[in-house]
């Protein structure tokens, strides 16, 4: 009996040890890959205040919507500046170093007649130096304005992602394809040419026995230019621009649970509560095992003892003590299982309340749930991996 109680206690302790590292991995924040960005000052020259406010709000919404960026509000910026004892009127490079952001945006919105131009530059939060600077003429149409501002932010903050594509359909196989003088493919092309910087490029196609084809092609951001070329006449048959299609989903034999995304939770109080319940549950389960062990020892002492007629009181006292210890052992076992279950629930809550992951992650979690065995009650470890 004593050996079986010790085995059950060890199993519960091992289950708690297994739960701790897996829950720790699940509760890690995934936003360390995101670049923190703040908009400091956009001066207006000859522009209506409503237009300036609209441009700034579009930039803020675009930064908040981007998965690779983490927007830092102006309120938080001012708080960081006060802690660093840097006034609002300080230079942009000094503000960038004191704000603890990766990128700081400053610029000027100017109006010339009916045209409105935006000159925007990005500063490094590490040393305050200028990284990139661009100037664009803003369109009047709201939909086009949002698209152009989105492209502007990508060019400034993530220039490697400012790309387009080119899909070629050549009438003859075995023709060599050159882009800006560099050989890039041979017809037929099974997939588009990707990661091409937007703008004008010289496309050349050559094959022995046919005339050389050469044409200027405009590549657009987030679009694929589809061209059909007839080498026999060395002419461009058709040109169509389409949005980049997402990569096809690969079917998996085993369906994995999709990670649940929710709003950010900067406090992390769920994790603190979960770890507290986990510690209390471990201590309670250990107490349950010790009480059961003492009750078993008392039972063996009663069985080994020689009792006379005058020792009924002592025997009854030991029997009552054994019952109390057994009852308290059962109560603490149930309480420990409940605390462990609450711990798993709060840790899972904290994980689900975390920010969305910029990369690809797998959902892993474990839980301790109360259950019953042939010889008593306990908790079982369950989860998905």
Label residue 385 by pLDDT band (50, 70, 90): very low
Q: Residue 256 pLDDT more than 70?
A: no
Structure-model confidence comparison of residues 357 and 39, the more confident one: 39
Same domain assignment for residues 226 and 288: no
Same domain assignment for residues 262 and 357: yes
The whole-model pTM stands at 0.53
Looking at the chain, the whole-number percentage of residues with pLDDT higher than 70 is 71
pLDDT of residue 92: 87
218, part of any domain: yes
d(Cα 328, Cα 128) in Å, to the nearest integer?
65
Same domain assignment for residues 142 and 41: yes
Same domain assignment for residues 48 and 135: yes
pLDDT of residue 6: 52
Label residue 14 by pLDDT band (50, 70, 90): low
Q: Residue 356 pLDDT more than 80?
A: no
Return the minimum-mean-pLDDT range out of 97-106, 271-280, 364-373. Answer: 364-373
Average the pLDDT over 374-385 and give the result: 53
Q: Residue 354 pLDDT more than 80?
A: no
Structure-model confidence comparison of residues 47 and 369, the more confident one: 47
Same domain assignment for residues 108 and 131: yes
Q: Residue 376 pLDDT more than 60?
A: no
Same domain assignment for residues 113 and 188: no
pLDDT of residue 133: 92
pLDDT of residue 201: 93
d(Cα 104, Cα 120) in Å, to the nearest integer?
10
Selection from 327, 333, 330, 331 nearest residue 368 by Cα:
333
* Final residue belonging to a domain, choices 126, 157, 188: 157
Q: Residue 49 pLDDT more than 70?
A: yes
d(Cα 233, Cα 96) in Å, to the nearest integer?
58
Query: Which range of residues forms the domain containing residue 172?
Result: 164-243
- 159-200 pLDDT, tens per residue? 888 899 988 888 889 999 999 999 999 988 888 888 899 999
pLDDT of residue 31: 43
Please state the domain count of the chain: 3
What CATH number is attached to the domain comprising 42?
Answer: 3.40.50.10610
251, part of any domain: no
What CATH number is attached to the domain comprising 200?
Answer: 2.60.40
- 62-78 pLDDT, tens per residue? 888 888 888 999 899 89
189, part of any domain: yes
Same domain assignment for residues 333 and 309: yes
pLDDT of residue 251: 47
State the Cα angle at 143 between 140 and 148, rounded to 5°.
75
252, part of any domain: no
Average the pLDDT over 70-98 and give the result: 89
* Final residue belonging to a domain, choices 209, 243, 277: 243
248, part of any domain: no
Average the pLDDT over 118-144 and give the result: 88
228, part of any domain: yes
Same domain assignment for residues 109 and 17: no
* Final residue belonging to a domain, choices 115, 135, 157: 157
pLDDT of residue 202: 92
Q: List, in sequence order, every beta strand (DSSP E) within the chain.
A: 35-45, 69-71, 103-112, 115-124, 130-138, 164-170, 176-179, 182-186, 193-196, 199-206, 213-219, 223-230, 235-243, 365-372, 377-384
332, part of any domain: yes
Strand, coil or helix: 262: coil
249, part of any domain: no
Looking at the chain, the whole-number percentage of residues with pLDDT higher than 90 is 7
Same domain assignment for residues 288 and 339: yes
pLDDT of residue 29: 46
Same domain assignment for residues 125 and 184: no
pLDDT of residue 239: 73
pLDDT of residue 30: 44
Same domain assignment for residues 236 and 221: yes
Same domain assignment for residues 343 and 374: yes
pLDDT of residue 234: 80
């Amino acid at each position: 009996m004593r050996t079986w109680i010790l085995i059950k206690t060890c199993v519960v302790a091992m289950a708690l040890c297994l739960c701790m590292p897996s829950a720790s991995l699940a509760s890690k924040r995934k936003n360390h890959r995101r670049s923190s960005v703040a908009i400091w000052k956009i001066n207006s020259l000859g522009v209506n205040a409503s237009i300036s406010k609209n441009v700034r709000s579009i930039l803020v919404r675009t930064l908040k919507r981007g998965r690779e960026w983490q927007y830092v509000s102006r309120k938080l910026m001012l708080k960081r500046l006060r802690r660093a004892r840097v006034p609002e009127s300080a230079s942009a490079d000094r503000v960038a170093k004191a704000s603890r952001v990766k990128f700081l945006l400053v610029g000027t919105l100017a109006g010339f007649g009916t045209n409105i131009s935006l000159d925007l530059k990005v500063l490094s939060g590490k040393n305050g130096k200028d990284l990139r600077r661009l100037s664009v003429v803003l369109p009047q149409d709201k939909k086009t304005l949002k698209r152009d501002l989105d492209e502007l932010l990508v060019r400034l903050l993530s220039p490697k992602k400012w790309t387009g594509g080119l899909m070629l359909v050549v009438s003859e196989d075995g023709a060599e394809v050159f882009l800006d003088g560099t050989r890039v493919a041979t017809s037929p092309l099974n997939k588009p040419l990707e990661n091409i910087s937007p703008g004008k490029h010289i496309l050349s196609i050559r094959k022995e026995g046919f005339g050389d084809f050469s044409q200027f092609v405009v590549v657009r951001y987030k679009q694929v230019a589809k061209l059909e070329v007839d080498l026999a006449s060395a002419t461009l048959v058709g040109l169509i621009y389409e949005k980049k299609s997402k990569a096809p989903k690969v079917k998996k034999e085993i369906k994995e649970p999709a990670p649940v995304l929710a709003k950010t939770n900067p406090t992390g109080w769920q994790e603190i509560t979960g770890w507290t319940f986990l510690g209390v549950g471990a201590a309670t389960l250990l107490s349950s095992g010790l009480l059961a062990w003492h009750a078993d020892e008392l039972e063996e002492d009663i069985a080994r003892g020689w009792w006379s007629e005058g020792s009924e009181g002592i025997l009854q006292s030991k029997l009552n003590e054994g019952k109390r210890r057994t009852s308290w052992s059962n109560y603490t076992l149930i309480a420990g299982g409940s605390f462990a279950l609450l711990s798993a629930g709060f840790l899972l809550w904290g994980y689900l309340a975390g920010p969305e992951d910029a990369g690809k992650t797998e959902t892993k979690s474990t839980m301790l749930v109360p259950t019953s065995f042939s010889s008593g009650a306990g908790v079982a470890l369950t989860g998905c991996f």
